[in-house]
Amino acid sequence: MSVFMDLNISSSHDTNRLRRIIETAAHLGYSTVAVNYIAEPQQKKQEIPKPLSVSDTFEKLPIVQGKSTPIKILNRLTIVASDASHFRPNNEYKNFDLVAVYPKTEKLFHAACMTFDVDIICIAVAEKQPFHFKRPSVYGAIDRGVFFEITYAAAIRDCTMRRYTIANAISLMEVCKGKNIILSSGAERPLEMRGPYDIANWGLVFSLSEGDAKAAVSTNCRSVSLHGETRATASRVVHTLKKPQITKEHEEECPAPKKAKTEIA
C-alpha cells in the first residue's frame, strides 16, 4: 500500500483551523503532512518563525484513514527569496524538518538548483512564471536530489491562478520530463484539501505520466523527507582540527633540531 504525503499545509495562528486541516488530511489517507512556515526576508523585521510543537496542537494525533497509525507531522520552512542575501542558512533553520526556497528570479532559481542547501524548490502558481526553466539548472537540482513542488490550492481558489498553475507546471515538465516532482496542497482551509488519487489525476493535467503522478504524492515525497533528514544530519557534523600542544617534558625529550651553521670560506 502506498504511503501518501502532503508536504505543504499552510501554518496558521488559528490552531483550531490548523487542527481541522490536519484531521482532514488524515481522513483523506495522508500518512504524513508538513506544516509550512513562510519567511520573506525582504520585509522589514521579518524573522524566521518558530514552529509549533505537536503537543501544542493536538492532545491526541488523528488516525490515518485505512490504517491504525496516527498521522506524522513535520515542520517546514519556505524562504521567499528575491535576492541571494535572503537565503542564508543559520541555526534557526535547524528547527525545521524540511527547508524550501521560492526563487523569484532566474539567477536565484539557478543558485537554488545548483548550490542552495534545500530540499524543495517552489514553482510559481499564482502568477505567470517570470523566467524560462533551463535544462542545466533543472538537471543540476535533480542530480543533487532536490525536488520541485507544484501546489494546487491556488488552482481551486481562482480560475486565473488555475491557468497559471497548469501553464507553469507544463513548462517545467517539458524540461524535467516528470523527474523529481512533488504535488502538494498549500491548503489554508480544510475544503482546499483533496485526496491523493484526485491529486494524481491533477498530475495528468500537468503532463505527468500515470506513474510519475502517483509518485508525486507518495514515493517522491518520501525521498524529500529522507533528503531533509540527511541534510539536517550533515549540518550537525563539524570536523575540528586542534593544534597539538607541546609540553615542556616533550621539548626536553624531543628537542627541536638546531640550524646548521654556514661557514664562509
Evaluate whether residue 200 is within a structural domain: yes
Evaluate whether residue 255 is within a structural domain: no
Evaluate whether residue 265 is within a structural domain: no
> Cβ distance 33 to 22 under 8 Å?
yes
Q: Tell me what pLDDT residue 44 has.
A: 56
Under the banding of pLDDT at 50, 70 and 90, the label for residue 17 is very high
Residue pLDDT, tens place only, 156-204: 998 999 999 999 999 999 999 999 999 999 999 999 999 999 999 999 9
Whole-number Å distance between alpha carbons of 48 and 228: 18
Q: Domain range for residue 129?
A: 4-236
Residue pLDDT, tens place only, 121-132: 999 998 888 899
Alpha helices in the chain, H assignment, sequence order: 15-28, 54-57, 106-114, 135-144, 153-157, 159-176, 196-205, 210-215, 219-236, 248-253
Evaluate whether residue 241 is within a structural domain: no
What is the Cα Rg of the chain in Å?
24
What's the whole-model pTM score?
0.84
Evaluate whether residue 263 is within a structural domain: no
Evaluate whether residue 258 is within a structural domain: no
Count of structural domains, the chain: 1
- 3-7, 53-57, 151-155, 227-231: range with lowest mean pLDDT: 53-57
Q: Residue 101 CB: number of other CB atoms within 10 A? A: 25
Return the CATH number at 90: 3.20.20.140
